Amino acid sequence: MFCHPSLVLVIINQPNRASGSRYARHSAQLSSSHLCDCASTIMGDIPAAAKSESASFSKLLTSHNLRQLLDSVDAFLFDCDGVIWKGDVLIHGVPDTIDMLRSMGKNLVFVTNNSTKSRRAYAKKFQTLGISVREDEIFSSSFAAAMFLKVNNFPTEKKVYVIGEQGILDELESAGYTGLGGPEDGRKTIEWEQNNLFDHDKNVGAVVVGLDRHINYYKLQYATLCIRENPGCLFIATNLDAVGHMSVMQEWPGAGCMVAAIRGSTEKEPVVVGKPSTFLMDFLLEKFDIPTSRMCMVGDRLDTDILFGQNAGCKTLLVLSGVTTLSTLEDTANHIQPDYYTSQMPDMHKLFGESVK
Amino acid sequence: MFCHPSLVLVIINQPNRASGSRYARHSAQLSSSHLCDCASTIMGDIPAAAKSESASFSKLLTSHNLRQLLDSVDAFLFDCDGVIWKGDVLIHGVPDTIDMLRSMGKNLVFVTNNSTKSRRAYAKKFQTLGISVREDEIFSSSFAAAMFLKVNNFPTEKKVYVIGEQGILDELESAGYTGLGGPEDGRKTIEWEQNNLFDHDKNVGAVVVGLDRHINYYKLQYATLCIRENPGCLFIATNLDAVGHMSVMQEWPGAGCMVAAIRGSTEKEPVVVGKPSTFLMDFLLEKFDIPTSRMCMVGDRLDTDILFGQNAGCKTLLVLSGVTTLSTLEDTANHIQPDYYTSQMPDMHKLFGESVK
């Protein structure tokens, strides 16, 4: 059933609906925005006490405002970690939602700050998980780093030193650049002698720093020397995420950790190419003839995904299946408010189902 | 010869003196401070062009103002790396200067931000280099970290996780604390599996971060979890030096690199116990019954040594034998001006010799 405001009272009178008690509590101050909150919502995994408090500005996604969102958006940009999957485990219900959006003719883009894989490797991961996604629908920060060099006419005869994983090296190679460092330097150590002169390639013209699970002092010194001693050497950060889901069980230090380390040793500020920088948006705008006001960014992080969407002028939907909790969203210290929030991305499919019953 | 202002012209007329040309250039605008610059100076290893420009506020150390400094100071605080030694190589002439100051009855303190050694290990290093320095004359940032816990009544039943080297663990042990991590965790790796739960000790109540040449992802994750998940866990930085002389040949990432990494992954700010924090000064004030105005900090770094001295109200002497160049000192972007500067610490002995000829 599609929930027009005029039909809301029908829903309210159904005592089994999740939001019934909520309506009763707020009935004295109903407004059109409150009416929307009384429609069907999916917040089953959030404690009852938390449910009673909505964020100051964000609206809980309902079967009603989802329809409004679907009507006003032509492209959905999805973060991956914490939205599509957690680690290598697919979030249940994602394929149905993707199929639904494709059947509606929506453009889909998968935007991830995780630089450990190339777009090709991500396309394989999607395939393994049973989701059909084309390489050109994927925008990873590894790809963004290579594209940043490309659009800035970084000369191919210069080299790029990488603190990060294979994804960055692969994207650099695809763009015609020579990458150094990365996984190979994870095995290198330094012999500490008083006359030790650490040699570095004076032809390195850019350092790209992303998440690196094999970070060591060798790489820190190499990158530091390039930035401090090679004239004009660029310092590019794939992203600044403090933590990420490297396993499904907990959060682990993200690229923000490695980038901060190089910021600490060089006292220089990086250029950030991943979210929330709008650098990637240029590619999306070239790809689709769609204004950003008809795009919606769906993500689990306020300071990257939601800010990225807002910086670009997109609509925004926060999912609480990743790093952000409802209490973080509602904390008075948080000033980043998405347009909508819901527990997880497949709620879109479920809520749409509710609305057409 | 002790150089009274009234005797300056005698010196100026000696064409072989290093500062002769300087006087000629500036003779039209002589003031009492310029007169002092015309006394004997030791800047032989600084290019002639550089010598002609003095810093806006700092005075070049001369045989004349050295005597004024010696007369007005009862305790000299020396930084070690770049002042006493470079790496493990003693700067020529240091022992004679130390002997001279001791013979004058000056108190000597050796203050170092290098946390890789304990005070005991530093005393041995001094001995090996042929300098007699007592353990209680040494104030390292490793010692400062342990003392910070002590004065803040950190409970001995709590544990301390260390990103850093043996010096921090040794000082923690001397203070009665149980340290974890450090060199031992430098050999640990993480097996990447989807259900990987990284276990950490919930009884860790403080994380100390210093220079760590065996930094790895294991340590970054351990420290990050302690700070993010153990309620009230302290985050202590030995110091924030961006780079340091880990070998005599070049600069290497310093503790500022590792501290920044943990700041990046935890989004928390550390308590800094080394220079330029004045935490160590409390110990010096308890040790000596000397006002800080009668102390002089001698160091090679503007943002740690000189700032530390200034924060505490000491006189300050910058030596150019370490990380700071004359052009850095004179750069308009630099706002930290020591009272005096000279090429290296043993200049004090040479200039004093000139003054008593």
Q: Could you tell me which of A226, A221, A212, A223 has the C-alpha nearest to residue A255? A: A212
Gap between the Cα atoms of A316 and A244, Å rounded: 20
Residues of B catalogued as catalytic:
74
- The total number of residues shown for chain A amounts to 357
Q: Which of B190, B243, B262 sits opposite A265 (nearest CB)?
A: B243
Mutation for testing the A interface, residue in B221, B228, B324, B325 having most A CBs under 10 Å: B221
Q: Do A216 and B220 touch (CB under 8 A)?
A: no
Residues of A in contact with B253 (CB under 8 A): 217, 220-221, 224, 261, 264-265
CB contact under 8 A, B197 and A247: yes
Residue A139 corresponds to which tokens in the numbers above? 């925008």
Test B252 with A213 for CB contact under 8 angstroms.
no
Of the candidates A37, A45, A71, A74, the residue annotated as catalytic is A74
**CA–CA gap between residue A329 and residue A317 (Å, rounded):** 12
Q: pLDDT tens across A178-201, in order?
A: 999 999 999 999 988 777 889 999
Other beta carbons less than 10 A from residue B352's beta carbon: 18
Looking at the partner chain, which of A89, A257, A259 has a beta carbon nearest the beta carbon of B194?
Answer: A89
pLDDT tens track, chain B, 357 positions: 333 332 222 222 233 323 333 222 233 233 333 333 335 666 544 444 344 444 457 899 999 999 999 999 999 999 998 999 987 889 999 999 999 999 999 999 999 999 999 999 999 999 999 999 999 999 999 999 999 999 999 999 999 999 999 999 999 999 999 999 999 999 999 988 777 889 999 999 999 999 999 999 999 999 999 999 999 999 999 999 999 877 777 889 999 999 999 999 999 999 999 998 888 887 778 777 899 999 999 999 998 899 999 999 999 999 999 989 999 999 999 999 999 999 999 999 999 998 777
> Which of A197, A198, A259 faces B264 most closely, judged by CB atoms?
A259
Contacts of B197 in chain A (CB under 8 A): 247, 249-250
Residue A129 dihedral angles phi and psi, to the nearest 5° = -85, 0
Task: Encode pLDDT of A312-355 as tens digits.
Answer: 999 999 999 998 999 999 999 999 999 999 999 999 999 999 88
- Percentage of chain B beyond pLDDT 70 is 84
**A78 pairs with which residues across the strands?**
A110, A298
Cβ distance B218 to B188 under 8 Å?
A: yes
Q: Are B243 and B251 in contact (CB under 8 A)?
A: yes
The answer to whether the beta carbons of residues A197 and B247 sit under 8 Å apart is yes
- Contact criterion met (CB < 8 Å) for B264 and A248: no
Tell me whether residues A224 and B243 touch, CB distance under 8 A: yes
Contacts of B245 by beta carbon, 8 Å cutoff, 6+ apart: B81, B82, B86, B87, B251, B252, B322, B323
Q: How far is A143 from chain B (nearest CA, A)?
A: 23
Under an 8 A CB cutoff, do A257 and B264 touch? yes
Q: Where are the alpha helices (DSSP H) in chain A?
A: 8-12, 20-26, 32-37, 48-51, 63-72, 94-103, 119-128, 141-151, 166-174, 217-229, 255-266, 279-287, 307-312, 326-330, 347-355
Residue B81 to residues A190, A197, B348: CA-CA distances in angstroms?
20, 17, 17
Q: Which residues contact B203 (CB under 8 A, 6 or more apart)?
A: B157, B158, B159, B230
Average pLDDT over chain A, rounded to an integer: 85
Of B214, B242, B265, the CB nearest to A217: B214
Interface confidence (ipTM) of the complex: 0.80
Contacts of A213 in chain B (CB under 8 A): 190, 192, 217
**Residues of B whose CB is below 8 A from A333:** none
Specify the amino acid at residue B351: L
Residue B261 to residue A249, Cβ atoms within 8 A: no
